[in-house]
Amino acid sequence: MLIRLAGGRVIDPANKRDGISDLWIRGDRIVAPPQGETPDAVYDVSGKIVMAGAIDVHSHIASAGVNTARLLLPENHSAHVARPEATPLSTAGWSTFETGCRFAAMGFTTVVEPAVPAHLALHSHLELADIPILDKGILTELGDDDYLLSLLRDGASKTAIADYVGTMLAASKGIGLKAVNVGGAVAIQNDVQTFDLDDVVPTYGVTSRQIVEALQQAAIDLGIPHPLHLHMNNLGVPGNIDTALKTIGATQGKRIHLAHVQFYSYGKEGKHGFSSAAAQLAEAINSAPKDVTCDIGQVMFGQTVTVSLDIIRQWNSRPMASPRKTVILDGETNGTGVVPYRYRSDNFYNAIQWACGLELFLLLDDPMRSLFTTDHPNGAPYTTYPDLFALIMSRDARAKWLADLPKEAVELTNLPSMTREYSFSEIATMTRVAPAHLMGLKDRGHLSPGALADIAVYNDDPDRAQMFRFAHLVFKDGDLVVRDGRVTHYRKGRTLTIQPTYDGMIDRRLARYYDDLYGVSRDLFKVPSAEAIGRDYAFEEVACGR
């Protein structure tokens, strides 16, 4: 099948391209304009914006914790209405099927679930198997596990640590490595209520900083394309800018990705002891080495639910739950906290959080290093992305929102004076080129011949939220799956994994360790073949390189 997308404005910053041209698709790939061939299908996309499919590196879409949140909050679905009618389960609310459809409708074609405890990976893969259209991946979470902490306590070699991380990634079929408030879970188990970068993990005698460094190094040693994906200490705590600055300083020029940095951009000035330190944080990231990247984790107003492995944070958030109910799993290494929350535009603290995120968007100078996220659903559901695109693309849109905020919050932000408006090219960099590069996905994020034909075509609607909410056309692997914001049919996506190489002796050590410690075989925790997970489930390997 040869397809020609005719006359659109092609925005492809990876190839420094922004102009009117045709784009050709053959099979599942983008191809150079063929000579003397007649296309099987031509789509007139003149006046439209053509980009690669968008990639999300941090959305909690599929995990035991997310499913607990669904079961906890049946009332969260009542607002959902029927969408693409002709597809199974298309009318379900906050489901896997809905996730695939709604991301696709916005032009997203690859989404990464960023917080999967190593022992709960099969659950995530089962959910991913039911997310249609998208390609997916999971980040495997390590950092508070006894085996790793014992290796560090005992002064094990870099190689031994890389072997352990390698086998855990392979067993969970992850695409990268995640760490969450490392050491914090063990700390709270030992009655410690706050935990910072240089605090010592009780009973193991290592600091959070040492664990971060070890995991960062292991990711490098294993040649994992994605650097360590770090949820820093002290998320959401007033004054945590200090933790963020220390952590950036600790990266020592090595690759690292800092997740949802908005939640770390808080000072403690003013009469409420809560203020924006976004400018300081942006300055630190801007001047850090190029391999220090971040995503924003923007807060948007409305009802959501927070789902996190940061058990200190979630435990401390319980009194703020809205509606007033929570699930705390104290176990499975980190634990998981599910705390519903409503961000309110008339709340001073929430308004500051919202402003902090936007200040970061506008002050971070390199969209290759500052990725677009809401930490779905923790800052806001991914369904708010279109509104967020509008906010960063339009000073006027921001002014309208600012008019509704508490005066005392507006006075504490420089947002009204910030004039920056993101261009299409910057949007495409932030949501296509950068995440593909960060995940090592060479076949996507751009529109070069040979690239995967994941393509989003948007109406150039001056209402940017409307434009990004309903893509005009979306192709996944060259297959037209969305027309005018509606999913036309399901197709199965793939789950992207890595297969790091390591010394197999670690598997023998771990077999003994699990038998002895847990009293069950380690094999129980291993993610089985794609076939065992579900009909048509498929893995695709992303190359590691040393």
Note the residues at the interface with other proteins (CB under 8 A): 62, 64, 66-67, 70-74, 76-77, 80, 82, 87-89, 91-98, 119-120, 122-123, 126-127, 130, 132, 146, 188-191, 202-203, 315, 325-332, 490, 517-520, 524-528, 532-535
* DSSP at 420: -
Taken in order 190, 246, 145, 142, the sign of the CA dihedral is positive
**Minimum Å distance from CB 529 to other proteins?**
8
Closer to other proteins at the Cβ: 188 or 392? 188
Angle of helix 64-72 relative to helix 121-128, nearest 10 degrees, comes to: 70
**Minimum Å distance from CB 60 to other proteins?**
13
Distance of CA 288 to the CA centre of its chain: 21
**Minimum Å distance from CB 473 to other proteins?**
23
Closer to other proteins at the Cβ: 348 or 490? 490
Closer to other proteins at the Cβ: 127 or 477? 127
DSSP codes joined into one string, 487-511: E-------EEE------THHHHHHH
Identify whether the C-beta of residue 111 lies closer than 8 Å to the C-beta of residue 78.
no
**Minimum Å distance from CB 224 to other proteins?**
24
Interacting residues of 302 by C-beta distance below 8 A, sequence separation 6+ = 342, 343, 380, 381, 384
Closer to other proteins at the Cβ: 97 or 468? 97
**Minimum Å distance from CB 318 to other proteins?**
8
Closer to other proteins at the Cβ: 85 or 411? 85
Task: Give the DSSP H or E segment for 391.
Answer: helix 385-393
Three-state secondary structure readout of 182-241: CCHHHHHHCCCCCCCCCCECCCCCCEHHHHHHHHHHHHHHCCCCCCCEEECCCCCCCCCH
* DSSP at 268: -
Closer to other proteins at the Cβ: 206 or 428? 206
Identify whether the C-beta of residue 288 lies closer than 8 Å to the C-beta of residue 257.
no
In this structure, are strands 229-231 and 48-52 parallel, antiparallel, or unpaired? unpaired
**Minimum Å distance from CB 93 to other proteins?**
4
Selection from 108, 75, 170 nearest residue 522 by Cα: 170
Identify whether the C-beta of residue 408 lies closer than 8 Å to the C-beta of residue 352.
no
Sequence-ordered alpha helix ranges (H) in 11-63: none
* DSSP at 3: E
**Minimum Å distance from CB 78 to other proteins?**
9
Closer to other proteins at the Cβ: 475 or 490? 490
* Residues pairing with 24 in the sheet: 4, 31
Closer to other proteins at the Cβ: 276 or 304? 304
**Minimum Å distance from CB 71 to other proteins?**
5
